[in-house]
Amino acid sequence: MLNKKNLRHLMVAAATALTLPAMAQQNYKQDSVTIKKIYDNALTSTKSYEDLRYLTKNIGARLSGSPQAAAAVEWSRQVMEKMNLDTVYLQEVMVPHWVRGDKEVGRILNSKLLGSVDANIAALGGSVGTGKQGLSAEVVEVKSFEELEKLGKKKVKGKIVFFNRPFDNTELVTGAAYSGAVDQRGGGPAAAAKLGAVGVLVRSMTNDIQDVPHTGATRYQDGVEKIPAAAISTKDAEQLSSLLKDDANLKFYMRMTSETLPDVLSYNVIGELKGTQKPDEIIVVGGHLDSWDIGEGAHDDGTGCMQSIEVLRLFNELGIKPKRTVRAVLFMNEENGLRGGLKYAELAKARGEKHIAAIESDAGGFTPRGFGLDGTKSQLQTVLNWKPLLAPYGLHEIAPGYGGADIGPLKGQGSVALIGFKPDSQRYFDYHHTMIDTFEQVNRREMQLGAASMASLAYLLSEYGL
């Protein structure tokens, strides 16, 4: 007699068989069974979720160069050493050490309507401070670099430039909206400084209207004065913009004590299972261990790290012996320097390592949708051929796409395919780079579905290559 569980398994197998060449059906039948075991184990395990709890609650925010980042390195190394992997090791990398200092103060001044109004701001990563007395100046609002250039030095000098271009909420994938707005944060302070501005405010990078400021890195330029730069919450950005329409001469007060200290020695944390047939062909699964300092770094990117470790646990637990080497890499310093990803690629090239694929999880621990692949047409077609095995688990979106920041430096080293894990994107930028990116915002089942998705693709890559 068939129960519901067996019936579903048969339906998946039948659907797979109908869409595959006859000569491949025998292997795909076994692959289907293996992938079902991966999902069953992942969805009934609490191990990686409890590890995420420890990482976020016991260690907390893990900005590069901080004691918490160092603690995360040692803890994650110990987690993988207890898993009976073939190899666990640390990879040295020098990282920036920027510190936020005291809690920032932001205030809208001299408004004709309301007088002094508090505003929620957060210093951008890498920003200089204002000095203990703070900074007060008139505000000029722009929505683009072109608008800023048209104002020129005469209208910008001595003022705080307020970059207020919102997300394009017609974009279905919120990452595309982020890409369309984030240049203000990265390049805005340097562009404003060239025209004599004394400070910068940048609308937070989120599609939501909320009180929470979203931090993130900015990039200064050599030979250009470094001026204080902060993100302002979208709710306060809306209010500031509205008040400027009625009082073009209003001022903004900002106080930040952030500073950059000398670089610090840190590490990428690496664990691997050696391939049984082609150990020299490497498949990476990874996320970044560092996070911003104002939250717990749960979705960004504690989930990606725990999912990567979970891939190895699932292989071990289920007795899957990969034909090619599967390596989990917890990268350091993605948020404000990408030093870990750059160092990993540098050493891989120096050692002549052959990476065939790298999968990165850095878009939150939400419900899986698929994978984006930066590679050749042939590599994409190979992964598309596996879609009948993956689609029953919700992985319908397999298409050309972005791999990831940390694996990006591997591009061009042989024929490596860079693969970005794609969870549902709608909620990610509610939490991204904020104080509310906490463990409580991560759903265990969604996170584990992501781990199983990555493990299933890693399994197929280890069996068949690209």
User: Residue 116 — very low, low, confident or very high, per pLDDT cuts 50/70/90?
Assistant: confident
Residue-wise pLDDT tens digits, 210-254: 999 999 999 999 999 999 999 999 999 999 999 999 899 999 999
DSSP assignments along 103-158, one per residue: PPEEEEEEETTTEEEEE-EEEPBT-----TT-EEEEEEEESSHHHHHHHHHHHHTT
pTM of structure: 0.93
Whether 304 has a pLDDT exceeding 70, the answer reads yes
Burial (CB count within 10 angstroms: exposed 0-12, middle 13-18, buried 19+), residue 99:
middle
Mean pLDDT for 55-69 is: 98
User: Residue 112 — very low, low, confident or very high, per pLDDT cuts 50/70/90?
Assistant: low
Please, what CATH class does the domain formed by 101-257 belong to? Answer: alpha beta
Burial (CB count within 10 angstroms: exposed 0-12, middle 13-18, buried 19+), residue 293:
buried
Residue recorded with tokens 């079902």: 36
- Find the farthest-apart pair of alpha carbons in the chain and give their distance in angstroms, rounded: 83
Radius of gyration from C-alpha coordinates of the chain: 24
Residue 355 CB partners (closer than 8 Å, separation 6+): 282, 283, 284, 348, 410, 413, 414, 416
Which amino acid does the sequence have at 341?
G
Residue-wise pLDDT tens digits, 396-451: 999 999 999 999 999 999 999 999 999 999 999 999 999 999 999 999 999 999 99
Per-residue confidence (pLDDT) for residue 28, from 0 to 100: 86
Whether 8 has a pLDDT exceeding 80, the answer reads no
Mean pLDDT for 341-353 is: 98
Per-residue confidence (pLDDT) for residue 115, from 0 to 100: 73
How does the average pLDDT of the chain come out, rounded? 94
Q: Among this protein's residues, is 334 annotated catalytic?
A: yes
Residue-wise pLDDT tens digits, 138-192: 999 999 999 999 999 999 999 999 999 999 999 999 999 999 999 999 999 999 9
* CA–CA dist 408, 418 (Å, integer): 7
Please, what CATH class does the domain formed by 4-97+262-464 belong to? Answer: alpha beta
State the Cα angle at 301 between 263 and 43, rounded to 5°.
150
Residue-wise pLDDT tens digits, 86-97: 999 999 999 999
Domain boundaries, the chain: 4-97+262-464, 101-257
Q: Which one of 141, 281, 296, 334 is the catalytic residue? A: 334
Write out the two tokens for 231: 């993100």
Write out the two tokens for 244: 């400027």
